[in-house]
């Protein structure tokens, strides 16, 4: 468990889910730390989730005028409960914000399914989206586009590389618009993104194409060497990974075209060519004899 220096939020380093929204705000705690506290819970049922518009508290007050033993309520109690019920429903739905969240999180679930993303990322996205809504960044922008941006941030932040393009495509959102929103969120929410390690991208591309384990390892070796020689900064990590993989394919005699890898990586063939020329040069590989693997250094085999 760590806490955010700026906002004072506590969140889990492992899964990224926010545990305590504001430290001095005692109402928002939903992780019980002791058995006692757990037993005192008045709520039961599914665990709360940030990806529900009301954090999963939708049914605090039921519709029947019965107490917890099933006995009817006194008339005094009844009016109290009725009043509470009004507040309850207001806090659930009366704002446009809530409606927005309901719709957005429905969309988010759908999107996460399509992209096969873990729950932690969904939670993180929901959290970011809430923040964006609080800051009134959603107003005047479409829900899907903000969602795409938030999802991309969540992915990057939790080391689950998904390009903004992939997300935007799944969401039927213009990439250009999505990247604008992405930067907007970064700036407005004061977020800092870790630099994507291109090595992480390799296995995704490799498995998409169905490459051998050996070529994958070769690509990682190439890429790590390139990173250590500091020739990778400013380059698209996906392009670097794709280039390293292609290089490794050539070395290992795998008959895979640039086109296939380019498609899997979401970059162009030209970009792969440019990158892998650079890689070959800095790593001192001889690229002239494509099918002569003997000239390649051992680490890449």
* Footprint of DNA (CB under 7 A): 176, 179-180, 183, 234-236, 239, 256-259, 266-271, 273-275, 277, 287, 290
Task: Kindly report the three-state secondary structure assignment for every residue of 84-110.
Answer: HHHHHHHHHHHCHHHHHHHHHHHHHHH
Residue closer to DNA by CB (options 54, 224) is 224
Residue with Cβ nearer DNA (51 or 244): 244
Q: Give Cβ neighbours of residue 174 (< 8 Å, ≥ 6 apart).
A: 145, 168
Let me know how many helices (H) and strands (E) the chain has, helices first.
12, 3
Cβ closer to DNA: 161 or 266? Answer: 266
* Least distance from DNA to the Cβ atom of residue 129, Å: 20
CB of 235 to DNA, least distance (A): 4
Count of positions (residues) in the chain? 301
Q: Which residue lies nearer to DNA by CB, 10 or 273? A: 273
CA atoms within 13 A on the CB side of 149: 29
- C-beta neighbour count of 96 within 10 angstroms: 11
Residue 275: how many other CB atoms lie within 10 Å: 26
Q: 140 or 234, CB closer to DNA? A: 234
End-to-end CA distance of the chain: 41
Assign 72 to helix, strand or coil: strand
Nearest distance in Å: CB 297, DNA:
19
CB of 280: closest distance to DNA in angstroms?
10
Considering the complex, what minimum distance in angstroms separates the CB of residue 195 from DNA? 12
Please say which residue, 139 or 277, places its beta carbon nearer to DNA.
277
Nearer to DNA, 18 or 149 (CB): 149
Three-class DSSP category at 10 = strand
Distance CA 198, CA 205 (A): 11
Least distance to DNA, CB of residue 165, Å: 8
Spatial neighbors of 137 by CB under 8 A, at least 6 apart, are: 146, 184, 185, 188
Please provide residue 4's backbone torsions phi and psi, each rounded to the nearest 5 degrees: -75, 125
CB of 234 to DNA, least distance (A): 5
């Amino acid at each position: 468990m760590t806490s955010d220096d700026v906002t004072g939020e506590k969140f889990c380093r492992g899964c990224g889910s926010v545990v305590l929204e504001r430290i001095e705000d005692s109402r928002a705690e939903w992780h019980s730390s002791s058995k006692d506290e757990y037993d005192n819970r008045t709520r039961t049922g599914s665990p709360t989730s940030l990806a529900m518009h009301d954090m999963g508290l939708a049914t605090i007050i039921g519709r029947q005028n019965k107490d917890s033993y099933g006995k009817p309520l006194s008339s005094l109690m009844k009016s109290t409960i009725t009043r509470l019920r009004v507040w309850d429903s207001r806090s659930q739905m009366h704002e446009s914000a809530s409606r927005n969240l309901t719709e957005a999180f429905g969309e988010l679930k759908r999107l996460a399914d399509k992209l096969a993303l873990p729950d932690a990322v969904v939670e993180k996205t929901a959290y970011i989206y809430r923040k964006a809504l609080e800051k009134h960044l959603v107003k005047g922008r479409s829900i899907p586009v903000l969602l795409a941006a938030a999802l991309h941030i969540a992915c990057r932040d939790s080391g689950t590389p998904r390009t903004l393009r992939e997300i935007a495509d799944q969401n039927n959102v213009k990439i250009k618009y999505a990247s604008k929103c992405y930067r907007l969120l970064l700036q407005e929410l004061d977020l800092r993104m870790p630099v994507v390690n291109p090595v992480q991208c390799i296995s995704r591309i490799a498995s998409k194409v169905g490459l051998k384990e050996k070529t994958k390892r070769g690509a990682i070796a190439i890429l790590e060497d390139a990173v250590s020689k500091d020739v990778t900064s400013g380059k698209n990590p996906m392009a670097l990974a794709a280039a390293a993989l292609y290089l490794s394919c050539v070395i290992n005699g795998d008959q895979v075209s640039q086109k296939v890898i380019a498609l899997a990586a979401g970059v162009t063939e030209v970009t792969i060519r440019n990158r892998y020329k650079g890689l070959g040069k800095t790593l001192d590989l001889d690229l002239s004899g494509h099918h002569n693997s003997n000239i390649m250094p051992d680490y890449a085999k």
